Amino acid sequence: MPRTDAPLPAQARPPSRWRYPLAAAACGATTVATTPLHDWLEPVNAVMLFLFTVVLVAARLGRGPAVMAAFLSVGLFDFFYVPPRFSFAVSDIQYLLTFAVMLAVALLIAQLALGMRQRADEALQAARRAQALHALAHQLAGALTASQVLAHLRAFVHGQLHATLQLWLPGPGQTLERIEADPGEGLSTLPAPVPSASLALLAQSVVQDSARPGPHRLQDEDGHHVLLPLLGSTRKRGVMLVSEAEGHRLQAHAEMLDAVGALAATALERLHFVEVAHQSELDMQTERLRNAILSALSHDVRTPLTALVGMAETLSLLQPPLSPQAREMAEALRGQALRLHDMVSKLLDMARLQATLPAPSRGATPGPGRLPLRLEWQPIEEVIGASIQLLAAALARHRVAVDLPCDLPLVALDAVLMERVFGNLLDNAAKYAPPDTDIQLAVRAAEGWLQVSVHNAGTGFPPERLHEVFELFARGEPEGHVPGMGLGLAICKAIVEAHGGRIDALNPPTGGAEVRLQLPLGTPPAIEPEPA
């Protein structure tokens, strides 16, 4: 593979101090070779040989030696071929025209030869640059990390332009982070000066300013710099800073720098999409594992739990009756089995809700999710009453004070899911409330929303964790004695937001803890009055 750090080649030329002597020697060699043939060689043929010498000098030695060879060839032709020979006197005035034409043709040929040589050198350099860029693209295509990309770019820029390169990539919060090559990856690392604070700020502004897509050139006490934003297909992938002491190479190879920037942006974007694909694959594997765990919980855990509950109830019905101590143990066994069954059910419910609801974005307004709902217009008091009846055992030591206006409108909701919401809220309120205290449940309809609040007389939510109580496995008392897994409020939040509502936790000034939820009222259907 061609090395990308090899300098741009040029055809070998003699040192400057030898060019003019070599041009004079070439003209002298032509004279020595043609003088013995004077009697057989026509003057016009000798002129052609001298012109050929001028062409060779122009092609190999450059412009100055070619001009000198043109004048020297005219002088040698006059001295050795034009009568009287071996003097610069001219017997025939026509030879002056010959000298003028010979000199003009020699200069013209030298200029053309120089132009061809220059174009050939430019074509050769362009081919070598294209070959080096191709090798760089091949290396960047195999880079696995941003530090490897930086190492390849630095080697290329150092070899081609004798310049240094630095790379900034976007980090958390759209701030730029300077990338360094990792010596442990087996790539040669070239030292790079630490950029000044002004350059770092300019790089940050280049990334954030969408109206500045092109390169930016600047100069400071450290040298000349070119800032190139790395433009990807969707957004800017970073900023590349190329620095050089003199700056003339950066100006002469602007197109090469643009090509290097495009290759760098493509490589970084490829790494980004590879990471996205890897994360997607990881999410798919996680989803498969979650489904497998759900299947195991659903079939392999709930079935023996149901059997345990049934056997514990059977023990209490045995004849002759069990002893009081054995009956107490059977009741404890039944209670613990029911508690574990409730925990497994909540885990399954939360897993199903997470599988059907989209991941909420930070600061997004709650709205209807993808959870399949069986919405029906029905009175909210029936759903609340059913929830209170299901929690009769948990609410045995609390009185639920329900405040329901008589003119509440119908609400479109999924009764089964909303029963679970009210059940979780009342269960939490009973767990964290002192025994023999009231739990207050109030419902109001206002401004297109149905507002429901559940309030207890407990110690309230931790003020610093009010925004976390609806997260998975978050509990009001992380180290407390109250049983639970921190899933009840998370399930409530998922169901309420699936209905297009919202739910909040707060500590009212009167004390205790309160959870408020809002459901959209909508427009209920008209109810036809029954005939008399």
- pLDDT tens figures, 470-510: 876 666 555 455 665 567 788 888 889 888 899 999 999 88
- Residue ending a domain, choose from 113, 136, 159: 136
The reply to whether 384 and 346 lie within a common domain is no
In a domain, 532, yes or no: no
**Dihedral pair phi/psi, residue 76, rounded to 5°:** -65, -40
Same domain, 81 and 122: yes
CB-based contacts of 449, cutoff 8 Å, min separation 6: 501, 518, 519, 520, 521
Split at pLDDT 50, 70, 90, the class of 357 is low
Look-up: residue for tokens 């207050």? 440
Q: What is the average per-residue pLDDT within 128-141? A: 87
Sign of the alpha-carbon dihedral angle for 76, 77, 81, 84: negative
Could you give the maximum distance between any two Cα atoms of the chain, in Å?
Answer: 156
> What is the Cα–Cα distance from 450 to 66, expressed in whole angstroms?
98
90 and 22 inside one domain: yes
Domain range enclosing 401: 376-520
| 69 plus 161 within the same structural domain | no
pLDDT at 4: 43
Q: Which three-class secondary structure state does DSSP give residue 443?
A: strand
Domain end position, chosen among 79, 108, 136: 136
Q: Same domain, yes or no, for 186 and 297?
A: yes
Stretch 45-66: mean pLDDT: 77
pLDDT higher than threshold 50 for residue 317:
yes
User: Which segments of 477-529 does DSSP mark as H helices, in order?
Assistant: 488-498
Q: What is the pLDDT of residue 530?
A: 63
CA distance 490 to 470: 5
Query: Looking at per-residue confidence, does 405 or 228 come out higher?
Result: 405
Question: pLDDT value at position 305?
Answer: 77
Contact indicator for 164, 158 with CB cutoff of 8 Å: yes
Whether 209 is covered by a domain: the verdict is yes
Domain CATH number, residue 439: 3.30.565.10
Q: Indicate whether 462 belongs to any domain.
A: yes
Q: Other CB atoms closer than 10 Å to residue 94's CB: what's the count?
A: 9
Mean pLDDT score across all residues of the chain = 77
Query: For residues 474 and 485, is the Cβ–Cβ distance under 8 A?
Result: no
pLDDT band at 514 (very low <50, low <70, confident <90, very high): very high
Mean pLDDT of 360-388: 70
Confidence of residue 1 (pLDDT cuts 50, 70, 90): very low
Is 265 in the same domain as 187?
yes
**Residue 13 banded pLDDT, cuts 50, 70, 90:** low
Q: Find how far residue 388's CA is from the centre of its chain.
A: 50
432 and 350 housed in the same domain: no
Highest mean pLDDT among 19-23, 75-79, 117-121, 432-436: 432-436
Grade residue 14 by pLDDT with cuts at 50, 70 and 90: low
Average pLDDT over every residue of 8-33: 72
Indicate which CATH number applies to the domain containing 238.
3.30.450.40
381 domain-assigned: yes
Query: Does residue 69 form part of some domain?
Result: yes
Residues 249 and 121 in one domain: no
Are residues 79 and 193 both part of a single domain? Answer: no
Cα–Cα distance between 214 and 367 in angstroms, integer? 42
Stretch (H or E) spanning 287:
helix 254-296
- Whether 186 maps to a domain, the answer reads yes
* Pairwise CA distance, residues 194 & 206, whole Å: 19
Residue 140 CA to residue 149 CA, distance in Å, equals 6
Do 41 and 177 fall within a single domain?
A: no
Query: What element of type H or E holds 22?
Result: helix 16-34
Contact between residue 327 and residue 316 where contact means Cβ atoms under 8 Å apart: yes
Give CA–CA dist 411/375, Å, rounded. Answer: 9
Q: Which helix (H) or strand (E) holds 532?
A: none
Q: Give the model's confidence band at 520: pLDDT under 50 very low, under 70 low, under 90 confident, else very high.
A: very high
Last residue of a domain, one of 136, 166, 192: 136
| Overall domain count for the chain | 3
Output 236 or 518, whichever has higher pLDDT. Answer: 518
pLDDT at 9 over 50: no
What Cα–Cα distance (Å) separates residue 218 from each residue in 176, 210, 221, 243, 251?
20, 19, 11, 10, 12
Residues 124 and 218 in one domain: no
C-alpha–C-alpha distance, residues 518 and 325, integer Å? 48
The reported pLDDT for the residue numbered 523 is 83
Asked if the structure places residue 2 within a domain, the reply is no
Q: Is 238 left (phi over 0), alpha (psi -120 to 50) or beta?
A: left
CA distance 286 to 273: 19
Would residue 516 count as lying in a domain? yes
Q: Same structural domain for residues 398 and 510?
A: yes
Asked whether residue 82 carries a pLDDT value surpassing 50, the answer given is yes
Instruction: Among 4-13, 285-294, 375-384, name the most confident range.
Output: 375-384
